[in-house]
Structure 1
Amino acid sequence: MSNKPLDFMPTKINKIDYQLLILLGFIAIFISCKKEQIQVKTIKSETVEINDNINSDSSISDFVKPYHEKLTEKVSEIIGYNDQILSNEEVNLQSTLGNAYADICLNFALPKFKEQTGRKIDFALFNYGGLRQSVYKGPIKVEDIFELMPFENMLVIAEMSGEQVQSLFDYFEKNKKAHPISGVNLTFEGEKLSEILIDGKKFSKTENYLVLTNDYLQKGGDNMIFFKDPIKLYSLDAKIRDVIISEIKLKDTIKGAIDDRIKMIN
C-alpha cells in the first residue's frame, strides 16, 4: 500500500437516482413473483467509458471522505522500529526476513496452542513467495506490513505423520528456496540433507509432529501437498498479518539474522 490516496470510481448517479433505482428494484421483484411466463426478446448493451471526463458525485465523495481519512490514519500508524533491513536475500537457504517472520509466527502460536490444547507445536514452515517485499530500516508502519503480506492467510497447525514430515523435508531439499522455517536445525552436506533436528531432537519417521503453517499452504499451495491430508487440523483463528502487526507493537524493535538453523557443509 502506498501513500497515494485511494481512488474511487466516478459516477453520475445522485441520491434521487439511487432511491429511484431501489424502488424500481422492488417493483421488479414484485412483478417477478407473479406466475406469468416472461420471455426475453431482445438484449441490448452499451459500452460506457470510465475516464476523467466523468464528474464524480459530491454526495458519494462526502460520504466516503471520513472513512478514507480514518483508513489513511490507520495505515500510517507507526508500530515499531527496524534496526536493519530485513530482506528475502538468500544465504544458505535462509533470509533475514524469512527467519524473523517464521520466528514471530511460532512465538505467537506456541502459547496460544498450548492454552487451547495442552500440546506443543514442533516447528513452523511457510513459503518463500509469501513475503512480497523487504522491511526497511527505520520506523515500521502498518502499511509496510500490508505491502509485505497482501494476503488474508490464517495460521493453522497440521498434525502430520513422520512420513508426511519426511515429504516436507524432501520438498525443502529439492526446492532449494529460503522457505521461512523455525524450530528446526537442518544440516546439508553438499546438496543432500544429512541431519534433521526438531526442537533439538532427531527427527523420527515413526512419530507425529505438529507443524505451524498457513491455510493456503495447508490446502496444497506452492505444491506443498504434504500438508493436504493431516491427521488433524487446528486453527488459531488468527490472521498472519494481524499477528505480525501485534507482535511488532509488543516487541517495538524486530530483529532477523542468519543463524545456525540451517548449516551447509561443502
Structure 2
Amino acid sequence: MRFTYLIYLLYILLLFNCKQPKAYLSKIEGKQIQVIDSIAIDSEIEAFIKPYRTHIKKDLDSVLAYAPNTYSKTDGNFNTAIGNFMADAVFDEANPIFKQRTGKNIDMVLLNHGGIRSIISKGNITTRTAFELMPFENSLIVVALKGSQIDSLTTYLSKAHKAHPISKLKLAIDKNFNVVEATINGKKIDKNQTYYVATNDYLFNGGDDMTFFKTNEGFTVLDYKIRNALIDNFKKVDTINPVRDDRFIQIK
C-alpha cells in the first residue's frame, strides 16, 4: 500500500509539472505603411467605388445659395455674422418642427463657438459648405428651462469671453463682464417662466461646461441634425446675408 501511495504521488507531481506555462505578451511591434502614389490601384475596387464617389461629389458640390462675403467665427468678440446666421437658421428650421410636436414655440437658441468648424467663403454655397461648417453629427434638442436657469445661462455667456451663437436672446454686459441687460424676444427674463431653448446634444450633456442644462423641466429630441438645418436653410434663400448686430454686446 505504501508503494502504491508513492506511485500515485509521483504521478500527480508529474501531471502538474507537465502543464504548459502561461503565455504572456512581452512585446508589440509595428511599422508604418505610407499611402503614396506609387501604390498600385486595384482596378476592380476602383471600378466598384467610382459610381458612388461620383454621386457623392455631385451631391456635395450642388449649389444651394450664394455668399456675398467671407464669414469667419473670429470676426467678433461677442457675436459674429456667421454665428448669428447659424443660430437664426436653427431657429427658423427647428421651430416649426417643435411647434408641430408640442404646440409651443422655441424661445431662444444657444450653440457653441467651437462648433463652427469652418468659414463660409465668398461665392457659391454648396452642400459641402454645410459639412465643412458642421462635420459632427450633432442633433438638436429643445430644453425647457426655468428663468432661474436662464440666469445661469446668461452668466455663463458673460464670463465665457466667446461669441457663442445665440438667437432671440439679447445680452449686454459691462466692462467687468457682469450682465446689465438680458431679454428674450424683447422681454425681461421671468424667473418663474419656462423657456424653451434649442441647443445641440453635446451642450445638453454638459459640453463646454454648460452645466445649466442639467436642471431642466424636460426636453424634446428633434432628431434633426444641425447640418441638415443649415442645408434646409441654404435651400430657401438665393443669397445669404449674415450680419453682426447688438444681440450680445459689451458696454464700456
Q: Is the 8 A contact 1:92 1:264 kept in 2?
A: no
Return 145-154 or 89-98, whichever deviates more: 89-98
Q: Is the 8 A contact 1:155 1:238 kept in 2?
A: yes
Instruction: State yes or no: 1:112 paired with 2:97.
Output: yes
Name the TM-score, length of structure 2 as normaliser: 0.83
Match of 1:235 among 221, 229, 232: 221
The answer for the alignment partner of 2:185 in structure 1 is 199
**Identical amino acids, percent of aligned pairs:** 40
The answer for the alignment partner of 2:206 in structure 1 is 220
Distance 2:157 2:209 in 1: 11
Aligned residue runs from structure 1 range 90-105, under 5 A: 90-105=75-90
* Unaligned segments of structure 2, at least 5 residues: 1-21
Q: Is the 8 A contact 1:90 1:178 kept in 2?
A: no
1:3-62 per-position Cα deviation (integer Å, ceiling 9, x unaligned):
xxxxxxxxxxxxxxxxxxxxxxxxxxxxxxxxxxxxx97989874653446534322222
Distance 1:58 1:260 in 2: 57
* CA deviation after TM superposition for structure 1 residue 264, in Å: 2.9
The answer for the alignment partner of 1:262 in structure 2 is 248
* CA deviation after TM superposition for structure 1 residue 87, in Å: 1.6
Which amino acid in structure 2 is aligned with residue 234 of structure 1? T
Q: Is the 8 A contact 2:93 2:232 kept in 1?
A: no
* CA deviation after TM superposition for structure 1 residue 209, in Å: 1.1
Name the TM-score, length of structure 1 as normaliser: 0.79
* CA deviation after TM superposition for structure 1 residue 255, in Å: 1.2
The answer for the alignment partner of 1:168 in structure 2 is 153
Distance 2:32 2:46 in 1: 20
CA 1:84/1:49 → structure 2, altered by over 3 Å: closer, same or farther? closer
Q: What SS class does the counterpart of residue 144 from structure 2 fall into?
A: strand
Q: Please tell me whether Structure 1 or Structure 2 has the larger radius of gyration of its CA atoms.
A: 2
Distance 2:72 2:51 in 1: 35
Q: Is the 8 A contact 1:89 1:96 kept in 2?
A: no
Q: What SS class does the counterpart of residue 182 from structure 2 fall into?
A: strand
The answer for the alignment partner of 1:209 in structure 2 is 195
The answer for the alignment partner of 1:15 in structure 2 is none
* Unaligned segments of structure 1, at least 5 residues: 1-39
* CA deviation after TM superposition for structure 1 residue 214, in Å: 0.4
Match of 1:79 among 36, 61, 64: 64
Distance 1:176 1:47 in 2: 45
Q: Is the 8 A contact 1:92 1:262 kept in 2?
A: no
Q: Is the 8 A contact 2:141 2:219 kept in 1?
A: yes
Distance 1:193 1:187 in 2: 6
* CA deviation after TM superposition for structure 1 residue 230, in Å: 2.2
Distance 1:252 1:235 in 2: 30
CA 1:42/1:195 → structure 2, altered by over 3 Å: closer, same or farther? closer
Match of 1:127 among 90, 109, 112: 112
Which amino acid in structure 1 is aligned with residue 160 of structure 2? N
Aligned residue runs from structure 1 range 128-143, under 5 A: 128-143=113-128
Q: Is the 8 A contact 2:77 2:162 kept in 1?
A: no
Which amino acid in structure 2 is aligned with residue 261 of structure 1? R
Distance 1:57 1:200 in 2: 62
Distance 1:48 1:195 in 2: 59
* CA deviation after TM superposition for structure 1 residue 256, in Å: 1.0
Distance 1:166 1:209 in 2: 11
